[in-house]
Structure 1
Amino acid sequence: MTGDATRTGTAGRLRAVADVLGDVLAGPYARTFARARQDEDDLFMVVVMAEALGVPNPASYYTVELLPVVYDQVHDWHRRMGLDRSPLDHFSCC
């Protein structure tokens, strides 16, 4: 019984040390990681909305199901892309 408690306590401490080391090592690159994630999200938006933007999309059958999920993010996305208004004719967010 005490062996299990010791292992759990040791595992918890090791996890805490690993979290601190992860923060120390990744901290200076947090902005870079956030920017890379934002770029991936923007690419995802383009892929999902390609058919609505007039770009032929061979995967439109699969991505059309994701449109309701990304509609909340359209405004932020088109602002980041430098567009004053939404490029979608049927969706006006501004």
Structure 2
Amino acid sequence: MGCSPLQIHTFWVDAKNYVEHTRKWYAETIPFPLNFFLPNCMHKQHLERLQLLWGDGYMEDEEKLEKELYRDARECLTLLSQRLGSQKFFFGDS
């Protein structure tokens, strides 16, 4: 299962998160010498994926993009919550 657009934005596009957490974690986890170039390759792939999903101008207004991503995620979670209702599971309690 792939990452959602919000996860991609949070981990790979948000500059502070990417530099301070995502790239650092991958660089420490991936074995040498892959740790020097693989995180940047992954970063590029995720940016390309967002570009495919949101179009060429997706980064023109990063604040607007982030708001839309959070709105979509919130809408999705609301729909799932409504579907679940008071049941333990989506397709019944057993």
Q: Given the two structures, how large is their TM-score scaled by the length of structure 1?
A: 0.30
Richer in helix (by share) = 1
Q: Given the two structures, how large is their TM-score scaled by the length of structure 2?
A: 0.30
> Which structure is higher in RCO with an 8 Å CA cutoff and minimum separation 6?
2
Structure number with greater Rg is 1
